[in-house]
Chains A and B, each alone.
Chain A
Amino acid sequence: MNRDQKLERQSRIRNFSIIAHIDHGKSTLADRILEKTGALTDREMKDQTLDAMDLERERGITIKLNSVQLTYTAKDGEEYIFHLIDTPGHVDFTYEVSRSLAACEGALLIIDAAQGIEAQTLANVYLALDNDLEILPVINKIDLPSAEPERVAQEVEDVIGLDTSDAVLASAKNGIGIEEILEQIVEKVPAPQGDPEGPLQALIFDSLYDPYRGVVAYIRITEGSVKVGEKIRMMATGKEFEVTELGVFTPKPVAKKELSVGDVGFLTAAIKNVGDSRVGDTITSVKNSADKPLPGYRRMNPMVYCGLYPVDSAEYNDLREALERLELNDSSLQYEAETSQALGFGFRCGFLGLLHMEIIQERIEREFNIDLITTAPSVIYQVKLTDGEEKIIDNPALMPDAQTITEVQEPFVKATIMAPNDYVGPIMELCQGKRGDFIDMQYLDETRVNIVYHIPLSEIVYDFFDQLKSSTKGYASFDYEMMGYKPSNLVKMDILLNGETIDALSIIVHRDFAYERGKDITETLKDLIPRQQFEVPVQASIGQKVVARSTIKAIRKNVLAKCYGGDISRKRKLLEKQKEGKKRMKTVGKVEVPQEAFMAVLRQDNTKKN
């Protein structure tokens, strides 16, 4: 293709994402679009094609991004090339969302006609606006009896300030409005700018590891073009590679010799480490180098840490291998070996957020078949010591002695909560209880409010989500962004079982809440830890001072006093089941402690309510 042909083709490219709250119908709409553009012949693929991993499908969320090239013949008779770039739907992955939006010129904003805007949607719309995207509002699920498209359209105008006069009324489920959406993409989303012969700039918006091909980088060409065999450089890391493969997804991967401005596809270059192909980095050509990278790159830092230990200590090496394998695909996962007196050898792992943490745990247990003990998640504390030294603490057990500390700082977030106004009371009560500072409250319309609080991240990491859900019957939506560190009156609380400190159970709490939390944890542990042959005191202490205590009573009777006739196998099975349960416990000192106990601090208030 010569330059003119490339420019002509470029004018027919449309790159867009879909922004939606969980359950507002993003995946269904994506499926319909794929069908309409002939990418999928009926049920060629499983429902909801873009969510590929089982885990994603089960949770109804997208973790890893995907992009698809589609061809659409519009009413004007021209054939257009669409790139639909999927975005993860969770706050933990905000940065990935922002990068995939940066790869687009437009975005479909899907809003549920019955539920209206949610906090998550709002956060992503702002990201899209930051990236100068053309936003096309789509009011979905208009077939629902409770649909109120006019009200929801008004809300979009009031809250986001978008013009909704052309908003598409759609039902992805019933295939209503899909044509109109495709036509609007052609008309309204700008074609990519840039010179196909300029110096190469390609944005990496995702990457994954393939055991046969090395790292597969998902890229958007913003300037210039790239060919197989060409020498490229990663601008953030400076690493150089030779392109071995280029292609697009249709959604099946299709190899190409060249990708040019506006194209969205994949690139492999025998890259061994995902860390060499970081999300947000710019790829340029060694021969025809760009002066500067595309804006917006940043290194993602974990926000939440926890200890991961194998239940069976013989599986330590298996766990290391599992983490190594997962890391290949997930450069935001961090880990290093650590030792706990209670749990033995394991790893302290850093995650982008709670969901990220849960996903990794689940994948280790499921894909690698390793039973895990997980310690309660912790944020990173900044500690100033009397000798002037500053320390970063990501493991509560390692918090220095209170006497040697002059100040502890903890990360705060700006939390935005949207809910029907009936729940303002419970929400404020919850935020107050989580040490939140009230910042603002706005009425979105007569029935919905937007509440803003500054809350310590550690409180969010505890059971904030669950509590918000239960105190608002699931009607509230929630989003947060990091704000930085502030000093807090924090102390380390140890948990003692049978008089022995269990390092893996230590937590850092605000002094004013220490007594309450100590009481909750000791009560929860009392219920979680099975009775032992002797009485086991459970204590929460700050320094030498015990602030709460409960007692696990000694086991009194555990004997099968029942006649099963001659059915000995049944007796055997029953005993085997009891024994299996024990195997999933960790013997700490003389006490057998089940896996869940190490997450007990998360369960505190829930246990009371249920």
Chain B
Amino acid sequence: MVNAVYLHIPFCDYICHYCDFNKVFMQGQPVVEYLEHMDIEMERTLERFPTSGVTTIFVGGGTPTALNEQQLEQFLQSVSNRFLPYGENDLEFTMEANPGSVTPRKLEIMKKYGVNRLSIGAQAFQDSLLKRLGRGHNVDEIGDIVTMAKQAGFENLSLDLMFGLPEQKVEQLSESIERAVSLGITHISSYSLQVEKKTVFYNQWRKGELPLPTEEAEAEMYSELINRLEAHGLKQYEISNFALPGYESQHNITYWKNNEYYGIGAGAHSYVNGVRRANAGPLKQYMTRIDEHGFPYMEENELTKVEMMEEEMFMGLRMRKGVSKQTFEEKYGDSVESVFGEQIEKLVSKELLKDTGTHIALTEQGFFLGNEVFQEFLAV
């Protein structure tokens, strides 16, 4: 059964230099029409794949807060109409929010429709770095959005911080962590920069104009991140995620536990009844497909049991707790050792994995070399 919902708002007021997600400049886009199509997709999805109850909703982008107040109201009204009737008591309803694009009124609307968690795109606390990233906000605006959010009654706040940025120093990361924590937040997601194709950074990198930190410096930053946040009580519960106890993102845990989720909106991905689907990304295509075919799917891939088990491992191992042996056996009918015994043994001997008795989990070193571990579980 599906209990998680991802919704994608692909609009942005500016495009960040590293971003390769599905997004478009807001100006001149058929926003209202798009939101109407999302509404149709929600309705049809629930009809076709009923839910037993919704426990998490996550609105990502793009920049969901780039919607104006009216559009935001239209969108959240449709989400709450469609999904809240199934909402569980402890529903986690997250929306991504960007500094500079939020007003007290927008926060009021979010609150009204049940949003109870904000994921704030802070990224760094140095104006020079924010500029380099092509972010359309400054450091002061990060403080402002947190203050506004608290005034509006939001207490579950997550901040995104990036590391491994061009010309970024370890000290700058430390400063960012300290300033983030001092704002009184409950959760931090911290991603290292990946230079992806079709981004400004990729072009700079090709021209040799992107001075990225060395692998050593990046490892040092990652280590700094883990240690400093831990000292502030924010525990690393996944490779890139840190939380005060009880504030772990339930929505993201859905992914890592390899559980199913709906994906609504242009370019959104879903995993329902053992089938992974990708929606068409371009707005026009997304809407045309809904109009003509009922659903916007561009790719559908029914997973084999082997693929499911592989994903169970390479997603599950991202969590500090690791993969539960019992859950694995319940899901697939075979013990994790009987399926992946050889790989586990090899990785344990390399001190990248450990067997805690109940779980298979990454070691401290394994966290730094996750990909070396995950690859082993793929039957390429």
Query: What is the interface of chain A, defined by CB distance below 8 A to chain B?
Result: 531, 533, 553, 555-563, 565-569, 571-572, 575-576, 578-580, 582-583
Contact = CB atoms under 8 A, between A and B. Distances in A.
B240 A561 contact: yes
A555 B372 CA distance: 10
A391 B6 CA distance: 73
Contacts of B194: 560, 562
B369 A559 contact: yes
11 contacts: A533-B350, A533-B369, A555-B215, A559-B370, A562-B240, A565-B8, A565-B60, A568-B271, A575-B314, A575-B374, A579-B378
Contact of A567 (B269, B367, B372): B269
A569 B276 contact: yes
Interface string B57-69: 0001000000000
Contact of B222 (A561, A563, A567): A561
Contacts of A561: 190-192, 222, 239-240
A571 B190 CA distance: 17
A556 B263 contact: no
A561 B189 CA distance: 10
A566 B269 contact: yes
A557 B218 contact: yes
B255 A557 contact: no
Given A557-B218, A568-B271, A576 B371 contact: no
B216 interface: yes
B78 interface: no
B255 A558 contact: no
**A interface secondary structure, majority:** loop
B202 to A, nearest CB: 14
A569 B378 CA distance: 12
A337 B38 CA distance: 65
Contacts of B301: 569
Given A557-B219, A561-B222, A566-B270, A578 B375 contact: yes
Contact of A575 (B6, B263, B378): B378
Contacts of B240: 561-563
Contact of B215 (A557, A563, A566, A575): A557
Given A557-B222, A578-B375, A566 B190 contact: no
Interface string B360-377: 000000011111101100
A559 B268 contact: no
B269 A555 contact: no
Nearest to A580: B380
B297 interface: no
A569 B239 contact: no
Interface residues of B, number: 43
Nearest to A576: B380
Given A556-B215, A568-B271, A572-B378, A563 B191 contact: yes
B372 A566 contact: no
Contacts of B191: 561-563
B54 interface: no
Contacts of A556: 215-216, 218-219, 368
B311 interface: yes
Contacts of B8: 565
A562 B191 CA distance: 5
A567 to B, nearest CB: 5
Contacts of B368: 556-559
Contacts of A553: 215-216
B261 interface: yes
A158 B8 CA distance: 76
Nearest to B315: A568
A575 B311 CA distance: 11
Given A566-B270, A575-B314, 9 more contacts: A556-B218, A557-B192, A557-B215, A559-B367, A561-B222, A566-B271, A572-B378, A579-B375, A579-B380
A498 to B, nearest CB: 15
Contacts of A583: 380
Interface string B37-72: 000000000000000000000001000000000000
B380 A566 contact: no
B278 interface: yes
Contact of B269 (A531, A563, A568, A578): A568
B259 to A, nearest CB: 11
A524 B252 CA distance: 43
A531 B368 CA distance: 13
Contact of B370 (A533, A558, A565, A580): A558
Nearest to B241: A563
Contacts of A579: 375, 378, 380
Given A568-B311, A572-B378, A557 B369 contact: yes
Q: Which 8 A-B pairs have the closest CB atoms?
A: A559-B370, A556-B219, A557-B219, A566-B269, A579-B375, A561-B192, A561-B240, A558-B371
Interface string B334-378: 000000000000000010100000000000000111111011001
Interface string B288-319: 00000000000001000000001100110000
Contacts of B375: 575-576, 578-579, 582
A572 B310 CA distance: 9
Contacts of A576: 375, 378, 380
Nearest to B299: A569
Contacts of A566: 6, 255, 261, 263, 268-271
A559 B263 CA distance: 25
